[in-house]
Structure 1
Amino acid sequence: MSVEIDLLDGFAVRVDGMRVQDAAWARRDAAAVVKVLALTEGRRLHREQLIERLWPGLDVDAASPRLHKAAHYARRAMDRRDAVALRDEMVSLLPGVTVDIDAAGFERDARAALDAGGVTPAEEVLDRYGATLLPADLYAEWAADSRERLAELREALLRQARRWRDILDEDPLDEEAHVGLMRERARAGDTRAALRQYERLDRTLLRELGVAPGPEASALREQLIRGLEDAGAISAADLGRLEQEIRFCRTPDGITLAYASSGAGPPLVKAANWLTHVDHDWHSPVWRHWLTELSRRHRLIRYDVRGGGLSDWDIPPPTFEDFVSDLETVVDQAGLDRFPLLGISQGAAVAVMYAVRHPERVSRLVLYGGYAQGTAVRARTEEQRRKHELEIDLMRLGWGRDEPTFRQFFTTQFMPGGSKELWDAFNDLQRRTSSPENAARVLEVNGQVDILDVAPRVRAPALVLHARDDRRPPLEQGRLLASVIPNSRFVLLESSNHILLADEPAWSVFLTEVEEFLSD
């Protein structure tokens, strides 16, 4: 007779190669008795010890009937009278029978691989066994010691096998794993990927612990940068584009805002728009090309709107005035005197209002995909008003769910020309950037925007760009902005995407127009 018991990545029992049906373990106590004994050396425990582990709130007399019932149903499940034996105050699992338990096998083979050393032995053990002990019993106290012991062995094997990604999946703060990935990517010839890994480490440590990377990671970064400089493969501007610095500031009404600085050169300030996360965006295919290209010739300064990204989420209902004040706070905190200002989507109206209030500070104004009137203000029919209200309801009711159907409604509007990968990234971005309630509040504020009376007072030269088939703010709104802002020039972009994609011609046109405008 042969018996196999699986405890890694799920519970299963096989007798002579035939798996005991899951329905046979409908009695949770029966399965628990088998699991506890299988995790115990020798597969036997004193009756009181077993009771203490499974029913710690009961005394021995009260728990004994439960133990006897559990043993009975375990025997029935395995169709063996001696499956769980109670003799002389001891409880045994399959006494006298050779039992193959995968958790015990993993522990034995893991220790042997660690003693042997080398990548191959560790790889073989990791490939042979599951990773998680009894995932259905993650919070069972009786499995805690075994879970911790096996987890430590697995982590040691991962380090020996140099599986740095797996380690970071479990602990993003593991600096050794970050350094290991940096070395791997450098050996593969991708120095820039290695430097981006350092950026991730730096931001993670700053965000979670408020500390900087240690000397090994910092020394490796300097070595990689020197290699690029010696090869003539990097300039000062390129170096600035490889990393960003995240800081925090407080608004007059006590809200914490996150802002980031990247690149080298004269400053360029970007007013916050809906759906940003200064850390996540740096690596996201949705925004990465925007941020790196705008950082190529400028020190780009951007921030997360209150209620989103790394800024405070626990906020009172925001107002348009709050959004303008937040821009003022970030600019003051960054110590800027005079600078060009970029407004995208909702950020365009905020940028216009700031430029009117602070004409001495705004040298030039770049507006893309913006609007002078929000959806509620420009609604002329009952159907248009209902559509605006429906979008707000969609956010409140469905945006926070794991299933992305509700978020996909917005994704197809923001980037209808995107790939499946980009759509997935944008769906994830929506979930990460804000809570459903905060997102709905921002959309309500945006719907009430009306700067038609304010825009004519802009004194700075302005460049207004808009995609021809933009499905968020329509083309008419871009034209309207350009018509009411004095000294403005309008550029029509051949695109249907509200967020321009890296591989579409309109993106190159956008960059060329903006750089020429800012360099005049």
Structure 2
Amino acid sequence: MTDAPLPYLIRGSGPGLLLAHGAGGGAVSNWTPILDGLAEHFTVVAPDYPGSGDSPRATEPLQLESLADDLVATAVAAGLDEFAIAGYSLGTAVATTAAVRHPDRVRRLALIAGLTHADPWLSQAIRTWQVLFDGDPVPLGHFSLLMAASPDALAEGVTDELAATVGNSLAPGAPEQFDLVSRVDIRPLLPRVTAPTLVLATGQDSLTQPHFSRALAEGIPDAKLVELAAGHNVFIEAGPELLAALLEFLPEPA
């Protein structure tokens, strides 16, 4: 992949906002809970990585720099010359890389439930997903919920029916996207970010734990850190709070 636009959806009008989704998700499955709220204020472009949505699966391992360039190429192809980027989970690494590689285009950066690298806990979670992916969707869904939901969200228990639904909802390209997560290390890039940055930590996150967000905020010059009371599935557990934080930060001062 070299600067090739990805399949995308576009909504709304106003200043440009590019969305970078998480591994195993997609433009629709990740961003839908807050998409309409964002589109009231921005021209929102939400691409799908290879293997998500209508984007064909990759035939070679995904590379972070190429994916970041393709994300930017998608925004440009959609008519955005300059834009903010909001990234979620793996998308925080993609968005940060894009901001460093394309500082002339990226005006603001919002990093949600982010990561800096694959530590031993995250690496083990990825290996478990990869082992479960081609099997029964019920254990796959149970494990996905264990990683994505906060303890409060799991308080009433999870049925096998719900677990199967979750297991079947992962993008076909999840294995390649999880593999990319296992190789991510953006720590050397953080001091090179020049765009104003908001880091949104998910305080009850078992997957990309809050220490990652603290490291992002400490490593990126002048970054602002805000913690939301949610697990990794922040769009469902704290959607209104997430949307409010983004709408407060993303518009540039008049």
TM-score, normalised on structure 2?
Answer: 0.85
Q: Structure 1 residues 425, 314: CA separation in 2 closer, same or farther (over 3 Å shift)?
A: farther
Which residue pairs with 1:512 in the alignment? 244
Matches within 5 A, 1:477-492: 477-492=212-227
Task: Give identity over the alignment, percent.
Answer: 29
Q: Determine the structure 2 residue equivalent to 1:302.
A: 46
**In the TM superposition, what whole-angstrom CA distance separates every residue of 1:126-161 from its partner, at most 9, and x where no partner exists?**
xxxxxxxxxxxxxxxxxxxxxxxxxxxxxxxxxxxx
- Asked if residue 470 in structure 1 is aligned to residue 225 in structure 2, the reply is no
For 2:93, the equivalent position in structure 1 comes to 349
Q: Which AA in structure 2 matches 1:434?
A: A
Q: Distance in 1 between matches of 2:241 and 2:181?
A: 28
Output the amino acid matched with 1:461.
P
Which of residues 168, 178, 192 is equivalent to 1:431?
Answer: 168
Structure 2 residue 234 is the aligned partner of structure 1 residue 500: yes
Give, in whole Å, the separation in 1 of the partners of 2:35 and 2:163: 16
How far apart in 2 are the matches of 1:429 and 1:389?
18
CA distance in 1 between partners of 2:8 and 2:68 (Å): 15
Q: Distance in 2 between matches of 1:492 and 1:315?
A: 37
Q: Is the 8 A contact 2:5 2:77 kept in 1?
A: no
Asked if 1:407 is matched to 2:141, the reply is yes
1:55-74 alignment to 2 at 5 Å?
none
Give the corresponding residue for 2:62: 318
**1:252-311 superposed Cα distances (whole Å, 9 cap, x missing partner):** 48x773100012222211123223344xx3xx6x74322122222112110111122210
> Which structure shows the bigger proportion of residues in helix conformation?
1
1:257, 1:310 within 8 Å by CA — same for their partners in 2?
no
- Could you tell me how far apart the structure 2 residues matched to 1:364 and 1:336 are? 14
Partner SS, residue 257 of structure 1:
coil
Aligned residues: 249
Q: Does 1:262 align with 2:21?
A: no
Q: Is residue 136 of structure 2 the alignment partner of residue 389 of structure 1?
A: no
Deviation at 1:369, TM superposition (A): 0.3
**Aligned-residue offset at 1:356:** 0.8
| 1:188-225 CA-partner distances (Å, limit 9, x unpaired) | xxxxxxxxxxxxxxxxxxxxxxxxxxxxxxxxxxxxxx
> Secondary structure at 2:110's aligned position in 1?
strand
Cα 1:473–1:452 shift into 2, 3 Å: same
Three-state SS of the structure 2 residue aligned to 1:453 is helix
Counterpart in the other structure of 1:459: 194
Q: What is the rounded CA distance, in whole Å, between the counterparts of 2:13 and 2:217 in structure 1?
A: 30
Q: 1:362 to 1:467 in 2, by over 3 A?
A: same
Q: Is the contact made by 1:309 and 1:432 (CA closer than 8 Å) also made in structure 2?
A: no
For residues 262 and 423 of structure 1, what CA distance do their matches in structure 2 show? Answer: 35
Query: What SS does structure 1 have at the residue aligned with 2:111?
Result: strand
User: Do the aligned partners of 1:364 and 1:462 also contact (CA within 8 Å) in 2?
Assistant: yes
Report deviation, 1:332: 2.3
Contact conserved, 1:256 with 1:312, CA < 8 A, in 2? no
Whole-angstrom distance in 1 between the partners of 2:123 and 2:50: 26
The residue type paired with residue 516 of structure 1 is E
Q: Tell me the amino acid that sits aligned with residue 25 of structure 2.
A: T
Rg: which structure is higher?
A: 1
CA contact (8 A) 2:214 2:225 kept: yes
Classify 1:474/1:432 alpha carbon distance in 2 versus 1 (closer, same or farther; 3 Å).
closer
Unaligned 5+ runs, structure 2: none
Task: Give the CA deviation at 1:388.
Answer: 4.3
| 1:500 aligned partner, one-letter code | V
